Structure 1
């Protein structure tokens, strides 16, 4: 996994613990194979959904991610409020999420 992704993983794990699943959905898209992802998710204790890039079940724009990591902040109506390319810190993620409440 990319260095920025490895930094971001603990942030996303912490966010998943802090926010109810009805208030925050986390979906990570990876360029790894499904089998490698399964092993990686288990080894890292990832508590959110991770799917391989190119998964045919992913709708646009998530299936069209070109840079990793890319984060989408989506409101409860399903509207993308912010798309961020690159590492988003835990503090920035919290601030973005609180501004949407």
Structure 2
């Protein structure tokens, strides 16, 4: 009987984790089509030059397990496309010291932006993280969702413009 229960429960747990990951990447509204004129976040180093460049804007936190899983994926995306002009900005509302400590165990190779007052999160209606947006070179959001759901073709489309 225990084996039967395990065989029934395991797929249900896996399904709930998958669906939970999809639900986490939510916003209260669709942001596709919105133009970002000025990204008002703070950076620990030099601010990246975003004017005329495509970028991925991702909302995350150190305490978020799905965010931790998506960071290596975003590192790989950044490594693959940075020489073609793609920037990635990971926005968190946590403080710099928390992020620095976190990066000792989970390195982040792209730019981290800080939104301590959650103003950017509120502007975009971010309700669940991780949540990513692909922004084209004109500043228009052309895709949004869970960062692990981004396809190469979504990124390639903004690099061709």
Same-fold call, TM > 0.5?
yes
Counterpart pick for 2:156 among 94, 98, 101: 98
Higher relative contact order (CA 8 A, sep 6+): 2
Count of residue correspondences: 97
Q: Secondary structure at the match of 1:13?
A: helix
CA contact (8 A) 2:93 2:117 kept: no
- 1:11-90 matches, within 5 Å, as 11-20=73-82, 23-54=85-116, 61=123, 65-84=126-145, 87-89=146-148
TM-score, length-normalised on structure 2? 0.50
* CA shift for structure 1 position 69: 0.8
Q: TM-score, normalised by structure 1?
A: 0.73
| Cα distance change of structure 1 residues 16 and 35 upon mapping to structure 2, 3 Å threshold | same
Quote the Cα distance in structure 1 between the aligned partners of 2:138 and 2:83: 15
Structure 2 stretches of 5 or more lacking a match?
A: 1-62
The 3-state SS of whatever aligns with 1:27 is strand
Structural RMSD (CA): 2.8
Kept in 2, the 8 Å contact 1:2–1:68? The answer is: yes
Structure 1: any 5+ residue segments left out of the alignment?
none
Q: Give distance in 2, aligned partners of 1:50 and 1:29.
A: 6
Moved over 6 A (4+): none
Partner of 2:72: 10
Distance 1:42 1:5, change over 3 A: same
- CA distance in 2: counterparts of 1:98 and 1:78, whole angstroms: 16
